[in-house]
Amino acid sequence: MFDRTPAELIIYSIYFAPFFFTVLFGFLSAYGTMKLLQATGWICHFWHPGLVFLSFWVLLTSLLGLTILPP
């Protein structure tokens, strides 16, 4: 069960935890979602855009971590 998840990823002699990439992809997904909301004008329906970004970041990181990139 735990044998398919690497403990660390090595890129140019730097060790990265797999959770780092999960958080990074979650951040990039949340950033793209916020840009899409701004382009369509839906961001004006939210009280605090910073909190919306943070909630999208947590939500998308959790979804990515549970489905695509398990820790």
Q: pLDDT tens digits for the chain (71 residues)?
A: 456 666 777 889 888 888 888 999 999 999 999 999 999 999 999 999 999 999 999 999 999 989 876 65
Token code pair at residue 26: 């979650």
Whole-model pTM: value is: 0.81
- Strands of the chain, DSSP E: 9-11, 14-16
Question: 10 - beta bridge partners?
Answer: 15
Q: Which two tokens stand for residue 13?
A: 């002699």
